Chains A and B, each alone.
Chain A
Amino acid sequence: MADHALHHDDHPHGLAHQFEDMPQQKESAVIGMWSFLITEILFFGGFFATYLIYRSYYPEAFFEGSSHLDIPLGAFNTIVLIVSSLTMAMAVHKSHEGNKRGILVYLTLTGILGLTFLVVKYFEYSAKIEYGLVPGLAWHPHGENSPQLALFYSLYFGMTGMHALHMIIGIGLLIWVFVKAAQGTYTAEYNAPVEIFGLYWHFVDIVWIFLFPLLYLLGLQAGGH
């Protein structure tokens, strides 16, 4: 019991025993998150490398496939994610001030924007199913380049689907951080969980920054090739 009392006297709120002080603990958390993000970069990197290879093999099919994607919806979702990155950055900013209400407000906005993105994605996927552009499930194209077109749509669903899964996981994590924040866990000194969740959220935004031009905007040049 004496140890317990000592713990509360000597340790700031949220500081684990193995760390010297709060900045060292936070630095470790950030470095740990970046280590995880390296694996994420290479995970999505595999998708992008596959895209690069097959696009260089079958440019016409990729232009055609891309021309069936909805640019206004894709652009809208790009804007939604950029705004959500701003609100996420603001939530982290408020956590540095230990401003509980600020964290909750900006996390709520971030969550709403994340859900907006997923709802738009739902409508896009529904349209693809309706038009029979889902390889293996509802596939209608019968032209000469149907297999190559299916390759484009496999990559489209693989990449945007895995990105959407990351968004869903992100919203789950957001709810967890929100509940912790509502309980008053985070202070101006202890806020590493908000910070590293922010890193995850921004990473998912960056993936979309590359997906949007590579998948959606490509088809505008279909006539030029």
Chain B
Amino acid sequence: MADDHHGPTVRIYLAVFASLMFLTALTVWVAYQELGMFNDVVALGIACTKATIVILFFMHVKYASRLTWLLAGAGILFLLILFAFAMADYVSRGWLGMPASHYLQ
């Protein structure tokens, strides 16, 4: 049957699946390498890449309306706000000699 619903084809699904498997193998392999702080950066980079692939193709966002894009984007934007504001607080707590900062030592 012709692909008349503007969704991905089976071939695209298989390519997506192969990429996800490759990235899973890559993230395990990288974890065994000594990269210092870059272990985290690479692991999160690979996880974000995998998530993006799943969202775009398996969840059809690449083929969806702009309103769907807006909602998916809003979810990620507010997640980043959550991380940024929480970390801005916790990371900076020891910077000034505030009365409560000894709790963190």
Contact = CB atoms under 8 A, between A and B. Distances in A.
Interface of A: 27, 30-31, 34-35, 37-38, 41-42, 45-46, 48-49, 52-53, 56-57, 71, 75, 78-79, 82-83, 85-86, 88-90, 92-93, 96-97, 195, 198-199, 202-203, 205-206, 209-210, 212-214, 217-218, 220-221, 224
Interface string B1-45: 100010110100110110011001001100110101001000110
A42 B43 contact: no
Interface in B31-88: 31-32, 34, 36, 39, 43-44, 46-47, 50-51, 54-55, 57-60, 64-65, 67-68, 71-72, 74-76, 78-79, 82-83, 86-87
Given A49-B82, A56-B91, A31 B68 contact: yes
Contact of A205 (B54, B57, B72): B54
A57 B71 CA distance: 33
A93 B13 contact: yes
Given A34-B71, A221-B39, 7 more contacts: A41-B79, A45-B82, A46-B82, A86-B17, A93-B7, A195-B60, A202-B54
B90 interface: yes
Given A46-B82, A96-B5, A213 B65 contact: no
B89 to A, nearest CB: 9
Contacts, number: 127
Contacts of A195: 60
B47 A52 contact: no
Contacts of B87: 49, 52-53, 56
Interface of B: 1, 5, 7-8, 10, 13-14, 16-17, 20-21, 24, 27-28, 31-32, 34, 36, 39, 43-44, 46-47, 50-51, 54-55, 57-60, 64-65, 67-68, 71-72, 74-76, 78-79, 82-83, 86-87, 90-91, 104
A74 to B, nearest CB: 9
Residue in B7, B34, B43, B75 with the greatest tally of chain A CB atoms within 10 Å: B75
A88 B57 CA distance: 12
17 contacts: A31-B68, A41-B76, A53-B86, A56-B91, A75-B28, A82-B21, A198-B59, A199-B59, A203-B59, A206-B50, A206-B54, A209-B54, A210-B47, A213-B44, A213-B46, A214-B43, A220-B31
